[in-house]
Amino acid sequence: MHPVGKGLMAKLPAEGTQARRFGKTRSAQSTALHEDYVELIADLLEGEGEARPTDIARRLGVSHATAIKSIARLKRAGLATARPYRGVFLTEKGRALAERVRLRHRLVVDVLRALGVSSEAAEADAEGIEHYVSEHTLKAFAQFLKSRA
């Protein structure tokens, strides 16, 4: 047995509770893909004036075909539009999602920085954390930061 002892081992939650937790994680993984794409598209549009599938694929480290399929999903979800030879654009719904994702990302980074995490690590870690944290926890993060001001 590990020297920490079994006192630190958590008791298994009820089956329904545990299933809900894992279900939330699976749902977040699906949502994270949309969120990463709309956030990047918004950043590209703002910084470069256009968001081409090739640029999206390179920046996300995926193949061009994967980017095209994901953009098609965004279009079906009403988050983006695409025009031949003009790139990808966000709908009003897509822009609103991108803004929510940016705010959530910033909040997670700010909390990590307040805990002493380096800027680089905080930015990298926030990319994962931001998709899985609940609204309840985000409110607690905001309150924590507010109490430190």
How large a percentage of the chain has pLDDT more than 90? 66
Q: Can you give the residue ranges of every domain in the chain?
A: 17-148
pLDDT at 32: 84
pLDDT, mean of residues 65-73: 95
Higher pLDDT, 128 or 114: 114
Which are the contacts of 68, defined by CB distance < 8 A and separation ≥ 6? 53
Backbone angles phi, psi at 90, to 5 degrees: -90, 140
- Is-contact 102 39, C-beta < 8 A? yes
Global pTM reads 0.76
Instruction: Calculate the alpha carbon distances from 70 to 18, 51, 63, 149 in Å.
Output: 30, 14, 11, 40
* One CATH from 1.20.1090.10, 1.10.10.10, 1.10.3720.10, 3.30.1330.60 for 17-148: 1.10.10.10
Helices marked H in 2-149 — which ranges?
15-48, 53-60, 64-76, 92-114, 119-132, 135-148
Query: Alpha-carbon distance 53 to 71, whole Å?
Result: 8
Whole-number average pLDDT of the chain: 87
Mapped onto helix, strand or coil, the DSSP state of residue 22 is helix
Q: What is the pLDDT of residues 18-55, one digit of tens each?
A: 666 666 555 556 688 889 999 999 999 999 999 999 99
pLDDT at 7: 54
